[in-house]
Amino acid sequence: MGKYLLRRILQMIPVVLGTTLLVYALVFALPGDPVKAMFGDKPVNEAVAAQIRAEYNLDKPFIIQYLLFLKNALTLDFGKTFSGQLVIDQIGRAFPVTIKLALMAFVFEAVFGVIFGVISGLKKGKWCDTVILIFSLLLISVPTFVTGFLAQYFLGVKWHLLPVTAGSNPGFIDLLMPAMVLGSVSMAYIIRLSRAEISSNIALDYVRTARAKGMDNKSVMLRHVLRNSMIPVVTYLGQDLGALMGGAMISETIFNVHGIGYLTYQSILKGEGNLVVSIVTLLMLIFVVCNLLVDMLYAALDPRIRYA
Amino acid sequence: MTDMNETNLSTALPGQERYVAPLEETPLKAVDSIDESAPASSMWSDAWRTLRRNPLFIISGLLIIFIIFVALFPGVLTKQNPNYCNLDNSLDPSSAGHPFGFDLQGCDVYARVVYGTRTSLSVGVFATLLVVLLGTLIGAVAGFFGGWVDAVLSRLTDIFLALPILLGAIVVLQMFKTSDSIWKIILVMALFGWTSVARIARGAVLEAKNLEFNTASTALGSTPGRNLFRHILPNSLAPIIVVGTTSLATYIVLEATLSFLGVGLPTTTVSWGGDISHAQSILRTNPMVLFYPSAALAITVLAFIMMGDAVKDALDPKSRTA
Amino acid sequence: MTDVNTENKLEAMQRANGPLLEVKDLQVDFTTDEGHAVHAVRNSSFSVYPGQWVAIVGESGSGKSTSAMAVLGLLPGTGHVVGGSIKLDGQEISGLKQKDYDKLRGSKMGLVPQDPMSNLNPVWRIGSQVKEALVANNMDIDHEKRSEFAKALAGEGMELKGDDDETFLGSKELPELLATARQALVNIGKTGEDLDKTMAYFTEEWVPGSETRWRVADDLIKAGVADDDAWYLAKKYVIGSTMDDRIAGLLSEAGLPDAATRARQFPHEFSGGMRQRALIAIGLACRPELLIADEPTSALDVTVQKKILDHLHMLTDSLGTAVLFITHDLGLAAERAQHIVVMYKGQVVESGPSLEVLQHPQHPYTKRLVAAAPSLASQRIISVKEHGGDAKAVMEHTVNESSLENGEAIITVDHLTREFKLPRRKEMFKAVDDVSFSIKKGTTLAIVGESGSGKSTVANMVLKLLEPTSGTVTYAGKDISAFKGKELLDFRRHVQPVFQNPYGSLDPMYSIYRSIEEPLRIHGIGDKNSRTARVRELLDMVELPESVMSRYPNELSGGQRQRIAIARAMALDPDVIVCDEAVSALDVLVQDQVLRLLNDLQAEKGLSYLFITHDLAVVRQIADEVVVMQHGKLVEHATTDEVFDHPQMQYTRDLLDAIPGGKLQLGLD
């Protein structure tokens, strides 16, 4: 297990380096001058621009910029935004909100996704299966921002069940609707995945053998069908936890949640390259670490992987 | 020696007497005979037969034909110009010739929904084509050559996979905000989207590569290159087609999302995403203005997702050999 | 004779008891996607008496497994019983609800399934999968607790019926039991070697969780200990086992060594044979009266197969379990079962006492089957020879001795070695270790070996699909390792393969025409018209109608695909065909048909074959020479007659012994 973990971590290093380089290149090496953008429509004061360039290392060759960024990032020094705020402060303020939102979405999609998926898989072909199937198909087809507006209009505006927007310091109730919207598509995928897994596992040989032992239907389903079906579902959930953080952008924008997604979107629009790169690096690290955890979890769930 | 009846020894137990079925009831067929009356069927014609019977396929197929028709000939469905907007008509309810009413700018909502079809569909189709081409190329090369080529390409795939497509797309599109071309969004989607197809293509090629018919062909004198194009690629197509169909839906959604965020298509282009974005400010008062383009978008995406499901059922490699 | 005596007694008991399982006019239908009913089993009747082995024999699709699953109420998918009756112990069970079936399965009927790889759940430990069977039938630890409880209620003086036979030895008490048993033996005057031998016997026999109080007492009494003392010891130390002991005991009964440790492992840590033993333990865990064994060993190597079946036979005999044995091998069925039922296309065509059916088959299908079964064919040759007859008359293939002696070698394999790098291991694994032989023109050399013997690796090196680590392969006097470009193409033209898997070796996207035409196209032979003509000719050669040209592999049966593969291999008029397990996946009759085709083609075209197989019985029908391989090494190399008549090595003898039907008297005298 220790060896496996070590190998996986070593494999992660080139991916982390590669992705940060990619993001850094996208933000800083592509045409378009962030300093010029700062001045907006005003004429560019070359002296001030040069000073800013020096401060943000923009006058150095690209690869040096990147290496300096990496060096500083290792000490958690992500520098300042062009407007002079510490990047780490900005992230520090937004991050807890997004973690809360992502965890709520995660619990929502995991609980309802698995429940509906299992019902659907066990009652394959019955009316409740058809209803759940259509429901999940609709959730997948309707883009998140449309789901968001629909939820906002019906749950918020029309029926006054939940607050329409979350605001800057949201509580549990404020985040309920954004979290549901954020988790809705993944929930639909979990439904479909659980259903497919159950209906293919139910026909496997060892399930028949279990029945031949004289086990009753409930035990067979629990110990042999569900236990095995949940392996890919748990894997999907784990990977999705990492993706939810990065995917919160739409939901946070619609519901005005001041989290990481909102911050990213705003900083992209404002051309705050440093902030964008820092956030994306962080998100990517979370994503990669989540994937690593999923692999560990997978090994724990499936003994065949354990010593591979 | 025993108390049992000696005569019983030679007779079988009841129900286990010697039995031979009458020949007329159990006619003997030639060993391994061929049913020459059955129609010939290739994998594709089998898949087609399965598809034809699938209601999911029929519904989605009809929808897609309709969507394509609207995209090609929007003028048939509406005589209004989607770009003719008159503030006098702002938020007017539906009237004759304007079934969906007017938006905040006073543009005809129905006409904009109809003309938006072309935008969504063309972005989806071209992005998918590019993604499938790029992904198949990279995946097939990685799977076929293996070794360090595979290692390098697989790491590259991991790198792009770790970057959320929406984030990457926004960053790049923000740089090219001034460009009015529809191609910038298609290229950006291809740049960040090829990974999913590459992974599947790699897996399919790896699987097909290890099938015995390749070894058989090699032993017949075939070269590796010939094997790749004559055997491996054709046999890897099914999963790629499946992921392609579903991708089409994904890219239509992505385009709408980007346009909604204001970094997608230029505002001069009629697009559902853009219209939805504009309508959000009046959601509380005039929800229907937002509803119509949303519904059009959802129906289109639904059609392609259902098509993807149907195609997957028909081409599923698990059911192929059965 | 005591044998006859017990047989008579048994028969009388069976007669008195009546059949344990009685299936009458069974009909099973499957519903297709279009809603049509497919009759998988029609009007089939058979019965099983207590303690009896009854075999159902048939090819794939004959309905044999379906019948067995119908008995268990475990028909897959859309299958359902539409007619007839299934009686277990006189009680009709065919219409039972699943809930009631649950009560019968495990406790009254057990199953040993076919494929050991897919029948154990990969995520649970072996022991816990055995435990499930016990728990499901309330045979877990509760039983011992319950009897203790009952005993307490009844008082010390009362003896509970059956208790001694259901109380198992526990691992905790074993050391003390052995120590006191030793003391008891010393007390009755046993010393030295005699004492050691008896103790060794006890140590081996007294397996915790399997040995009962009654058997311990019996063993002691047999060793000379006085009745009272023996029972005193047994009652004192055999006081019930823990669940873990019982699980280990069951696994060890099934022949799994080191069962207590093994029970804590996962299925993927087991070999195929070990998994099958675990499945046998599961099937017998609750001591069912009827065990349904559905091709229990067909996925295993022949020598393992024999060991496991021998063990199963011993075990079911000692437990008095009746067995419904499903198999495709007539020889195996006749060897193991007293009564056989032959099924063909969903119907029972013939049934009766095994030997009688075998010696005097009446239905044309049975006759065909008896004639084609390779195990019986080789048995027939042996018995003809034993009786001094001329075996040539019953041989499909006679050894071509003149070619073997005078012919020139077309393929020579010289000190061939191939090593593989194992993942995360330093030392190399020698798949093939210094193998040499040569194939004479116009003859067949068979390489026989079990899985992992390196036989297919040799084939791949002969085909130049794999480069040897050392050693050479020579074709027509030239070292093939140097072949490149035109020379290689020429070699490919003359040495053709036919692979094992008829489903995998033809491209599913290619029509039959394109498949057979492919080699002609690769080698640029002829134009479109002449190629079409050649494909027709080749199809005719393998006795397939022209109409298959436009068909696709998925429409053909395994045997037909294999004939297509042979036609493809013949397209370029090769000198050598390498058949890698080419008939192993086929049903007996189809296998026989393909073997005949290969023999005919050899006689007609003077082909040379390298024939790779795990089945020694098939060798007799095709080969002139045999090379026996084990663990990558060549064990024995001789003419086919020599190998069968005078095997030199123990391993070859084991392989020969493992051919089913070895002890059958075919009634040729």
Residue linked to tokens 């290689």: C488
Contact B155 A14 (CB under 8 A): yes
| Domain B60-319, architecture per CATH | Orthogonal Bundle (1.10)
C137 touches chain A (CB under 8 A): yes
Contact C507 B231 (CB under 8 A): yes
Contacts of A among chains (3+ CB pairs under 8 A)? B, C
Rounded to a whole number of angstroms, the distance from the CA of B159 to the nearest CA of chain A is 5
Which residues contact residue C586 at a Cβ distance below 8 angstroms, ignoring those fewer than 6 apart? C502, C558, C559, C562, C594
Phi (first) and psi of residue C71, to 5 degrees: -60, -40
Contact B221 C519 (CB under 8 A): yes
pLDDT at C2: 46
Contact C102 A208 (CB under 8 A): no
- Residue C619, Cβ density class (10 Å: 0-12 exposed, 13-18 middle, ≥19 buried): buried
Residue linked to tokens 């030793």: C182
Helix (H) / strand (E) element for C445: namely strand C444-448
Helix (H) / strand (E) element for C442: namely none
Residue B94 has pLDDT above 60, yes or no: yes
Q: What is the CATH number of the domain that holds C404?
A: 3.40.50.300
Q: Which long-range contacts (CB under 8 A, 24 or more apart) does C652-657 make?
A: C652/C628, C654/C303, C655/C302, C655/C303, C655/C448, C655/C616, C655/C628, C656/C616, C657/C306
Closest chain C CA to residue A225: C121
Same domain, C354 and C407: no
Contact C85, C44 (CB under 8 A): no
CA C176 to chain centroid: 42
Contact B212 C507 (CB under 8 A): no
Same domain, C91 and C169: no
pLDDT at C1: 41
- Which residues in B lie closer than 8 A to residue A27 (C-beta atoms)? 171
Closest chain C CA to residue B320: C554
List chain A residues with pLDDT less than 70: 1, 29-42, 306-308
- Which residues in C lie closer than 8 A to residue A204 (C-beta atoms)? 118
Contact A143 B160 (CB under 8 A): no
Taking Cα atoms as reference points, which of C45, C36, C89, C50 lies closest to residue C63?
A: C45
- With both helix axes pointing from N to C terminus, report the angle between A205-212 and C272-284 in degrees, rounded to the nearest 10: 30
Q: What are the domain boundaries of chain B?
A: 60-319
pLDDT at A112: 96
Tokens representing C132 are: 């499930």
Contact B162 A288 (CB under 8 A): yes
Query: Within chain B, where are the H helices?
Result: 43-52, 55-72, 74-77, 109-145, 147-162, 165-175, 183-209, 212-219, 224-227, 233-261, 272-279, 287-315, 317-320
C140 touches chain A (CB under 8 A): no
B10 touches chain C (CB under 8 A): no
- Which one of A141, A157, A247 has the shortest CB-CB distance to B164? A247
Which residues contact residue B286 at a Cβ distance below 8 angstroms, ignoring those fewer than 6 apart? B91, B279
User: For an interface test with C, which of A199, A206, A215, A226 has the most C Cβ atoms less than 10 Å from its Cβ?
Assistant: A206
Contact residues, A window 104-143, toward B, CB-based 8 Å cutoff: 137-138, 140-143
Query: Within C73-137, where are the H helices?
Result: 98-104, 126-136
Rounded to a whole number of angstroms, the distance from the CA of A284 to the nearest CA of chain B is 6
**Three-point CA angle B99, B105, B107, nearest 5°:** 35
| Domain that residue C176 falls in | 155-241
List chain C residues with pLDDT less than 50: 1-2, 142, 157-161, 668-669
Please report, rounded to a whole number, the percentage of residues in chain B having pLDDT higher than 70: 93
A223 touches chain C (CB under 8 A): yes
Strand pairing of C444-448 and C608-613? parallel
The DSSP result for B249-284, as a single string, is: HHHHHHHHHHHHHTSSS-TTS--HHHHHHHHGGGTT
Q: C369, C401, C425 — which closes off a domain? A: C369
Contact C105 A213 (CB under 8 A): yes
CA–CA separation, C21 and C89 (whole Å): 6
A32 secondary structure, DSSP code: S
Contact B15, C52 (CB under 8 A): no
Which residues contact residue C274 at a Cβ distance below 8 angstroms, ignoring those fewer than 6 apart? C256, C262
Contact B42 C511 (CB under 8 A): yes
- Which residues in B lie closer than 8 A to residue C339 (C-beta atoms)? 12, 16
Contacts of C among chains (3+ CB pairs under 8 A)? A, B
CA–CA separation, C648 and C635 (whole Å): 9
Contact B174, A27 (CB under 8 A): no
Contact B298 A268 (CB under 8 A): no
Rounded to a whole number of angstroms, the distance from the CA of C439 to the nearest CA of chain B is 19
C167 secondary structure, DSSP code: P
pLDDT at C255: 86
Residue linked to tokens 């051919």: C659
Taking Cα atoms as reference points, which of A170, A157, A142 lies closest to residue A252?
A: A170
Domain count, chain C: 3
A210 touches chain C (CB under 8 A): yes
Rounded to a whole number of angstroms, the distance from the CA of C423 to the nearest CA of chain A is 10
Taking Cα atoms as reference points, which of C272, C304, C308, C307 lies closest to residue C293?
A: C308
pLDDT at C663: 63
Closest chain C CA to residue A3: C424
Tokens representing C581 are: 């397990």
Catalogue all structural domains in chain A, each as residue range(s) with its CATH number: 94-258 (1.10.3720.10)
Taking Cα atoms as reference points, which of C380, C298, C410, C383 lies closest to residue C621?
A: C380
Contact C556 B8 (CB under 8 A): no
Taking Cα atoms as reference points, which of C537, C493, C535, C540 lies closest to residue C512?
A: C535
A209 touches chain C (CB under 8 A): yes
Q: Is C24 helix (H, G, I), strand (E, B) or coil?
A: strand
CA–CA separation, C320 and B291 (whole Å): 74
Same domain, C408 and C353: no
Q: Dihedral sign, CA of C589, C593, C598, C603?
A: positive
**Is pTM beyond 0.80 here?**
yes
Contact B257 A145 (CB under 8 A): yes
Contact A283 B164 (CB under 8 A): yes
Contact residues, B window 226-285, toward C, CB-based 8 Å cutoff: 226, 231, 234-235
- Which residues in A lie closer than 8 A to residue C111 (C-beta atoms)? 209, 212
Q: Give the CA distances from residue A79 to residues A24, A34, A55, A261, in Å, rounded to whole numbers and listed in that order.
A: 14, 16, 10, 20
B25 touches chain C (CB under 8 A): yes
Does residue C144 lie in a domain region? no
CA–CA separation, B296 and B305 (whole Å): 14
- Which one of C76, C98, C106 has the shortest CB-CB distance to A213? C106
CA–CA separation, C512 and C552 (whole Å): 6
CA–CA separation, C293 and C105 (whole Å): 14
Bridge partners for C472 per DSSP? C414
CA–CA separation, C553 and C560 (whole Å): 9
Least confident among A254-258, A278-282, B111-115, B306-310: A278-282
pLDDT at B128: 95
pLDDT at C57: 93
Q: Give the CA distances from residue C71 to residues A71, B271, C108, C284, C651, in Å, rounded to whole numbers and listed in that order.
A: 72, 63, 12, 17, 40
Contact A143 B257 (CB under 8 A): yes
CB pairs under 8 A between A and C: 88
Q: Give the CA distances from residue C558 to residues B110, B216, B279, C501, C655, in Å, rounded to whole numbers and listed in that order.
A: 59, 17, 63, 8, 27
Q: What pLDDT digit, counting tens, does each position of A23-80 carry?
A: 888 877 665 566 666 666 667 777 777 777 777 777 777 788 888 888 887 777 777 7
Q: What pLDDT digit, counting tens, does each position of C448-465 carry?
A: 998 888 899 999 999 999
